[in-house]
Homo-oligomer: A and B are copies of this chain.
């Protein structure tokens, strides 16, 4: 018996599910946007199409029937859940959970209801409401579209109501709703990654620190350095309460701000996440293997780190990837490369490197250097 897991989305997150699926004898059937998608070649079976296309979704769910349906991004139409239910394929996480990763207004309201720590925030429909929010929060705020954002898109720091006009108008015309959040003067960003299976079993990886540049994750340090015990406990508690409270199945990433002794929830993702790529080389069980185990309701894997420190550095496309000249240098840095098979263009995440080492400084320096070598083609 070879269980089939159906995945929506052909990017690097689906791509990186292929290796653990193969190791565990799981067949990975992926709905890819095109045959050029990052996941198209590594996927065991592919269906080309969009999740908005009922025929494509039907082929994804067709005989032999998948044991579970999951995805690598949140942009899943509600009709997909109906189709899965009709086909008898459990969708994991369910729409009742995924909603809170799809819609930032729903998420904020639910965090409030669970008494979990939000930044100050408000659903805004008019410039007057924006102005009122700015007036009581130091004249600056973070404007977000409730749906559709990623990697810094759909997010804008503003200092005046006029900077919200276009999104407010779009919302009034039926576009995504808009919210505003206080601009948290944070000291650092943490991410907690957990996995939960339908039975309720939950496993967490150590809390990590995420370094962002221009709204895009640049490096992840595992574990988060010099983390106060109370802060670590609180971060883990928040992620666990969200996973259980929202009935999440699969991997859940909770991004958080630390500001002084406050921890505030930033964003949720219900799928493998960039902040967990370090687990491929730095943990007994990677987030990709764990996600497959969780959505299949299999026992979850050991999340123990395999080294004192692991640093992940994203390779952001800009130049070219010259594997042959880079490989020796990167290897000398003790780095493991993961490329995503994507066309290179400025700022795009085209791969990452992981470096494990005995000290944080060493792992960090080597990872940053290795990512630069991969991006720029090496010096030799």
Most buried by B among A328, A332, A351: A328
Residues of B within 8 A of A15 (CB): 22
Task: Tell me if B299 and A324 are in contact (CB < 8 A).
Answer: yes
A310, chain B: closest CB distance, angstroms: 12
Which residues from B are CB-within-8-Å of A41?
22, 27, 44-45
Chain A 168-201 interface 0/1 with B at a Cβ cutoff of 8 Å (1 = within): 0000000000000000000000000000000000
Residue A254 is within 8 A (CB to CB) of chain B in the complex: no
Bound-state Cα–Cα, A39 to B51, Å: 29
* B25 touching A341, Cβ below 8 Å: yes
A370 at the B interface (CB under 8 A): no
- The chain B residue with its CB closest to the CB of A328 is B299
Give which listed residue, B284, B285, B297, B323, contacts A298 with CB less than 8 A. B323
Complex Cα gap A298–B25 (Å): 30
Select A323's contact among B25, B327, B331, B336, beta carbons within 8 Å. B25
Residue contact B306 to A327, C-beta cutoff 8 Å: no
Whether the pair B42, A331 counts as a contact (CB closer than 8 A) is no
Q: Could you tell me if A2 and B299 are in contact, using CB atoms closer than 8 angstroms?
A: no
- Residue of B at shortest CB range from A322? B1
Which residues of B lie under 8 Å from residue A24 when comparing CB positions?
323, 337, 339
Q: Which residues of B contact A2 (CB under 8 A)?
A: 341
Question: How far apart are A182's CB and chain B's nearest CB, in angstroms?
Answer: 41
Interface string of A14-40 (1 = CB under 8 A from B): 010011001111010000000000000
16 additional A-B residue pairs with CB within 8 Å, beyond A22-B341, A42-B42: A15-B22, A18-B19, A23-B337, A23-B338, A23-B339, A24-B323, A24-B337, A25-B323, A25-B340, A41-B44, A284-B331, A298-B323, A299-B324, A299-B327, A299-B328, A306-B306
Closest A-B pairs by Cβ, 8 of them: A299-B328, A19-B19, A25-B339, A41-B44, A22-B42, A299-B327, A23-B338, A301-B331
